[in-house]
Every structure is written in structure tokens, then in C-alpha cells.
Amino acid sequence: MSRWTGTWLSGPGAGHESDEGPVRYRGERLGAPERGLGSVASTGIRLGALVLDLVLASLVTSVFLRPDYDDPSRMWQFNVWSGVVWLLITVAGVALAGFTPAKALLGMRVVRMDGQPLVGPFRAIPRTLLVALVIPAAIVDKDGRGLHDKVAGTIVLRTR
């Protein structure tokens, strides 16, 4: 079992639907605690981390490419490069450490459902591309896992 997920994961199949009745909180069916360390991160805090990471990507981009608010084509170019920087920050952070700068700041980590310690690029790339599409990340199940997490076999947990 991974040191990031603790011992609450039941292994493969832990996230499958069950007929045990109503779910009281996110992650209950997976055995995650209701609050605190190891609990499933809320949608609001995850959205906050996304916004902070996008701001960071824009700031990094502005070091290399100055935005010109009066020139739409220049702003389009700036926004495209900011998106590329966000993709790189997110893929590298999640693949190698399980978090982006904003996720670390807000106390979250992306972990694999199978308990392996690293998410890795083969899971981080499709997960990040699906977040960029927005809709897959907005569709969340009873355990707080978006479609992007289901595809990648991951979940976002609180680290504090």
C-alpha cells in the first residue's frame, strides 16, 4: 500500500458501485475518512487549485511573452502559450509528485487507486487533457471522482 493513501484502499474494484444504501460523504464507499488527512478533496478546493495553477501559468508565460490587451491576436497567442505552460506544470507535477503547486499549497494530492506511489506520465497526461476539456472534470460521482480521475485511475485526497 502506498504511503500517500494510507491503508484505507481496498484494492482493485474499491470504487465500484455498491447497493449498500445511501452514501453519507464522499469517499465513504472507498473507506476514506470523512474529514482531514486522507479524505476526498471537495470540488470547491479543487476548483480553487485549478484557478491558482492557471494564474501561475499566466505569470510564468508573461515572463517570456508580454500580453497586449489591445491586440486580440497577441492575446490569443499569450493565452495559447499560457495553456501550454499550464499543461506542462500540471502533467509534470502530477506525474512526478502527485500535485501541482496550487494543490500542494491547498493541501491536496493526486493518488492512484491501486496504491502505487507515483501517478506517472501515462496517467497524468490523459487526466490533464480531460481537465482541460472541463466537462469530464465537472461530472463527479458519489465519491468525488470526476471522469478524468476515473479514466486515469486516480483520486484527489487531502494531505492535511
Q: What is the pLDDT of residues 4-45, one digit of tens each?
A: 555 545 555 554 545 566 888 888 888 889 899 999 999 999
- Backbone φ and ψ for 99, nearest 5 degrees, come out as -150, 160
At residue 19, the pLDDT reads 53
pLDDT tens profile 81-134: 999 999 999 999 999 999 999 999 999 999 999 989 899 999 999 999 999 999
Q: Residue 140 pLDDT > 70, yes or no?
A: yes
At residue 109, the pLDDT reads 96
What is the rounded distance in angstroms from the CA atom of residue 70 to the CA atom of residue 62? 16
Q: Does 2 or 110 have the greater pLDDT score? A: 110
- Backbone φ and ψ for 51, nearest 5 degrees, come out as -60, -45
At residue 20, the pLDDT reads 61
At residue 9, the pLDDT reads 54
For residue 70, the 8-state DSSP code is: T
Rounded to two decimals, the pTM is 0.83
DSSP H helices in 4-158: 43-64, 72-96, 101-106, 121-132, 135-138, 147-152
Residue 103's Cβ-count burial label (10 Å; 0-12, 13-18, 19+) is buried
Nearest to 9 by CA among 109, 157, 113, 120: 113
Q: Residue 1 pLDDT > 50, yes or no?
A: no
